[in-house]
A and B are shown apart, each in its own frame.
Chain A
Amino acid sequence: MKRIGVFVCHCGINIAMTVDVKRVAEEAMNMPGVAYAQDYIYMCSEPGQALVREKIKEEELDAVIIAACSPNLHESTFRAAAEEAGLNPWQCEIANIREQCSWVHTNREKATSKAIRIVDTLVQKTILNESLEPIPVSITKKALVIGGGIAGIQAALDIADSGYKIILVEKESSIGGHMAQLSETFPTLDCSQCILTPKMVAAGKHPNIELMTYSEIEEVSGYVGNFNVKIKRKASFVDWSKCNGCGLCMEKCPAKVPSLFDRELATHGAIYVPFPQAVPNKPVIDKDNCIYFKSGKCRLCEKVCEIGAINFEQEDLIVEEEIGAIIVATGFETLPVPNLVEYGAGDVPDVIDGLAFERLLSASGPTVGEVRRPSDGMVPKEIVFVQCAGSRDPERYRPYCSKICCMYTTKHALLYKHRVHDGQPYIFYIDIRTGGKGYEEFYHNAELDEGIIYLRGKVAKIFRDGDKTVVWGTDTLTGRNIEIAADLVVLATAMIPKDSTAELVKKLRIQTGPNGFLSEAHPKLRPVESINSGFYIAGAAQGPKDIPETVAQASAAACKVISLFSRDHLEQDPAIAWVDEDLCGNCRICISVCPYDAREFDEEKGIVIVNEALCEGCGSCVAACACGATQQRNLSDSQIRSMVTASLGGE
């Protein structure tokens, strides 16, 4: 029989507080096959790993079990350590006695007994574990970046500069994302467009980057290194290869469509580019609002386009691409104002959100940078900013802090003061959070020099009264209620994931958290990877964050992709299905259940075999196999049976 070593981690007190680790080690010694058992305070530390290596040699162990945290965290650490000491990595198993035991139970006696059974379950598995070799698979060294905001642009540029090919897919007709809408950025007050546009142009021109704007992901199949991606290029009804961007069509278009880029504070034609600095600077026809598509008459754009770039017959096009790694950078949107019923439910015209205010401040915005309110164009003299509009509100809206509002609201008030010297800004806040380099100083100066009144309290109600917008708040510091008849109210609405994220993650089969943001593989140590290999995440799609953090995460994700592409080949988990040729009855049920076409009939042998390159190891065919011919490596039926018995504390 195998000689198995069991190492029980205290994880400081994380495990040892609720689980009697010494007893777990003692009990392990009595388990069949266990030749050595010991507890140690931090198994993942270097001395801990050294202990494992040393004991493997000293005790001539054939396999080891580390009873510690979730295998997601340290399985690879300990497998590497085991390999260093001469073991096959598949002879190392992790028993999760932290996340699934010590952290979730309080009764020490019961938690200890459960930990012992968990270890025994893994001992039973390990007794029958085979030594395996990873299956090599090739890599397509071309990356896909989904989302053309600052995160996607940065990631694409970084990967492209290292020499690999990139496809950058963007849903809108231009890259740039929300950053293109901003006026100036905190805490340095750089003009957002001035720092973004050069990057947009660079991405548009880079020989390694293929821009696919006005495009969406249709389908993704395959696995890390070898994805097959179908991308839908939406019909723009303009032949971009012909269009020279003269803009005459947009000038002549008689339709008036609210501009989403300008937060509906301005309109554009049905043929439009979202903003003048667009990359690529080519127009699209908005089919839903085009007079010709609606009524069958017009085609004015076609008449004025001398080079004949307008094409009303254009259709959506599906392109297929082979891709090795995917970065998801789909960004955010903000909680719609109509959702906030007590703040006027979107019916009060002079209640706008922060992005709309950015457009009012922007020199290229609908008011050319003058602050004018939507209802009548008046320059507001009393202006109220409301923070946490939908954030930190687990009961009715979003439970989390949107992180950037404290800073941008202060920036808004400050920029407002720079434009309207005799105006008075008020900011309602719950807490001011200025974690970030130079942020507290920015807030300090605004408080000191700009005459902004900060009011510590959440606004309960906003309503229109004549041409005023009345705000009911409180100042918890004086313990008095506040009423302000404002000219304009700006809501710092909660940052939420883009509404298309939910549909996209289904296609990609990656995970999101409870608030719909993308989940990272580990909150601290693997913040730019998805749990599913080959997928990386960047920017506000993962959670609220500001521009510097977004750019840092995008570069980090790019770096992960570059590191992946620097390898000759990838290794696939060999714990896949195999067939006992003597037992196969050739019923072929396995072929029908396999999602990957990995089960195929071998004419020579007259049985159904496993295509190792295609098998992903789900085990569905193993469960379906009626004669027990198909088994899964290191998870055979006999292993499972003895694991079940051990988990119940039986013999």
Chain B
Amino acid sequence: MFEPKIVCFLCKWCTSAGADLAGTSRLKYRPNGVNIKFMCSSRVDPEHILWAFHEGADGVLIGGCHPGDCHYEDGNYKTQARVSLLNRLLDDLGIDTRRLRLDWISAAEGSKFANVMNEFTEELRSLGPIKLAAREMAK
């Protein structure tokens, strides 16, 4: 079966803590993603996302705090704006926008984190691998 590779950019305060909670709760989810922890989701530069696709990622997950809960006041709104801009570019590159997923997952939502990882893995499986040309263009 096709095993998609996922890069997860997680904010330290909410989503990474949520991922830790999934662990302490011993929830089980698909092992397709590796987490990279940032202080805030607003540290994610669209270039990092394109780089991930170029380097072989089949999907990119960005996890931040729920609207209004950002540790840095409004970092998550900036992230949302940047992601929606990038989505237009992904279309042009021929990368399905479903491959870039932005979720608000709080420190209390271990089960949401697990569900998102499972759902996203399933979705990427159904989308299949990214075409090579698109990867090259992502550079």
Contacts and interface: CB of A to CB of B under 8 A. Distances in A.
A506 B13 CA distance: 14
Contact of B36 (A98, A121, A623): A121
Interface stretch (B51-59, B87-95, B96-104, B126-134): B51-59
A595 B44 contact: no
Contacts of A496: none
Given A72-B20, A619-B42, A118 B34 contact: yes
Interface string B51-84: 1100111000000000011111111001000100
Contacts of A519: 107-108
A320 B9 CA distance: 38
B20 A640 contact: no
Contacts of A596: 72
Nearest to B71: A509
Among B31, B38, B44, B69, residue most surrounded by chain A Cβ atoms (within 10 Å): B31
A622 B43 contact: yes
Nearest to A102: B23
Nearest to A72: B20
B56 A648 contact: yes
A98 B24 CA distance: 9
A623 B34 contact: no
A121 B29 CA distance: 21
B124 interface: no
Nearest to A651: B55
A28 interface: no
A513 B39 contact: no
B68 A506 contact: yes
A596 B71 CA distance: 12
Scoring B13, B52, B72, B74 by chain A CB atoms within 10 A of each residue's CB, the highest score goes to: B72
A616 B55 contact: no
Contact of A99 (B7, B20, B52): B20
A303 B57 CA distance: 78
A620 B68 CA distance: 16
A154 interface: no
A114 B3 CA distance: 13
A140 B137 CA distance: 53
A596 to B, nearest CB: 8
Nearest to A641: B51
Interface string B19-51: 110111011110100111011101111011001
A623 B39 CA distance: 12
B36 to A, nearest CB: 5
A644 B7 contact: yes
Nearest to B11: A618
A632 B43 contact: yes
A620 B31 contact: no
Nearest to B107: A511
Nearest to A506: B68
B105 interface: no
Given A105-B31, A595-B72, A619-B38, A100 B20 contact: yes
B130 to A, nearest CB: 12
B24 A620 contact: no
B43 A100 contact: no
A103 B36 contact: no
A644 B36 contact: yes
B71 A643 contact: no
B31 to A, nearest CB: 4
A106 B45 contact: no
Interface string A250-294: 000000000000000000000000000000000000000000000
B62 to A, nearest CB: 11
A650 B55 contact: yes
A623 B44 contact: yes
A245 B94 CA distance: 76
A311 interface: no
B36 A643 contact: yes
A377 B61 CA distance: 63
A595 B28 contact: no
Contacts of B44: 623
A616 B34 contact: no
Contacts of A111: 31
Contacts of A649: 5, 56
A104 B108 contact: no
A511 B7 CA distance: 26
A511 B34 contact: no
Contact of B39 (A121, A593, A619): A619
B47 A637 contact: yes
A99 B23 contact: yes
Contacts of A560: none
Contact of B43 (A105, A512, A623, A644): A623
A619 to B, nearest CB: 3
A125 to B, nearest CB: 9
A178 to B, nearest CB: 25
Contacts of B74: 595
A514 to B, nearest CB: 5
Contacts of B71: 509, 532, 618
B71 to A, nearest CB: 6
B5 A100 contact: no
Contacts of A619: 38-40, 42-43
Contact of A635 (B24, B29, B35, B43): B43
A70 interface: yes
A647 interface: yes
A359 interface: no
Given A99-B20, A106-B28, A506 B78 contact: no
B108 A620 contact: no
A647 B42 CA distance: 20
23 contacts: A96-B20, A96-B35, A98-B23, A100-B35, A104-B22, A104-B28, A110-B31, A111-B31, A117-B34, A121-B34, A121-B36, A593-B78, A595-B72, A595-B74, A596-B72, A618-B71, A620-B42, A620-B43, A620-B75, A623-B42, A623-B78, A644-B36, A645-B55
Which 8 A/B pairs are nearest by Cβ-Cβ distance?
A99-B23, A619-B43, A620-B42, A647-B34, A618-B72, A618-B40, A103-B23, A595-B73
Given A506-B69, A648-B57, 4 more contacts: A511-B13, A637-B48, A640-B48, A645-B51
